[in-house]
Amino acid sequence: MEVQKIFENNKKWVQHQLAIDTNYFKDMSKGQNPEILYIGCSDSRVTAEEMMGVGPGEAFVHRNIANMVPNTDLSAMSVIDYSLMHLKVNHVVVCGHYYCGGVKAAMQPKDLGILNPWLRNIRDVYRIHKDELNTIKDEDKKYKRLVELNVQEQCVNVIKTSEFQQAYNDRKVTVHGWVFDIHSGKLIDLKIDFEKILDQIREIYRLH
């Protein structure tokens, strides 16, 4: 794609939005009040807003390789803090996707340089769920299951934060784990029982 084409697209988009609502940008500049924090993968095939059918202002979005929520990542932690404490979102979504390159890379025993510390977080998920994963003989099924388990563990990482626990006590914020199926375009709800997880981890991770 030519970069210049992007500016032409933008011009058309502005005209299209103004044709629907002349105050569109005026209203948008007043501020944001999103209901959802979406944490997804940077993969170019998994668009956050488009596949959820939401427009500007409806979702606060954070994307990185393999939709991770590492405790020491200042970017992810700042996004969680700002969206839960200040924007007061009511739902946190962690959305993974099948055939995730980050998860695939973590499954290979290989030195990948600067990617090593990032992928280590996914390898840790593998280690935690090693018994289940090693019973799966089909490599493709194992890969897909690791994608799901990684989403689940990142939901646990959200639940471990002080911000989430405060927001849960204050207004019963919810956490959702989803997987985007690249083959069908469908979103799959992993139906993660976050309240049960919160209950189980409280003994060690209770901050509020």
Query: Which residues are at the interface with Zn ion (CB under 5 A)?
Result: 41, 43, 100, 102
CB count in 10 Å sphere of residue 158:
24
Distance in angstroms between the alpha carbons of the first and the last residue of the chain: 49
Kindly name the residue from 41, 62, 155, 176 that is annotated as catalytic. Answer: 41
The Cα–Cα gap between 198 and 195 comes to 5
Residue position matching structure tokens 């003994």? 203
Q: Which of 95, 100, 155, 176 is catalytic?
A: 100
Q: Which residue, 11 or 45, has its beta carbon nearer to Zn ion?
A: 45
User: Which one, 150 or 165, has the nearer CB to Zn ion?
Assistant: 150
E strands, the chain, in order: 36-41, 59-64, 91-97, 174-181, 186-189
Tokens describing residue 42: 């940077």
Active site residue 62: no
Q: How far apart are CA 110 and CA 105, in angstroms?
A: 8
Asked about 155 being catalytic, the answer comes back as no
**Which residue lies nearer to Zn ion by CB, 102 or 177?**
102
The one catalytic residue among 62, 95, 97, 176: 97
Minimum Å gap between C-beta 129 and Zn ion is: 18
Q: Does the annotation count 145 as an active-site position? A: no
Closest distance of CB 86 from Zn ion, Å? 28
Least distance between Zn ion and beta carbon 96 (Å): 7
Active site residues: 41, 43, 45, 97, 100
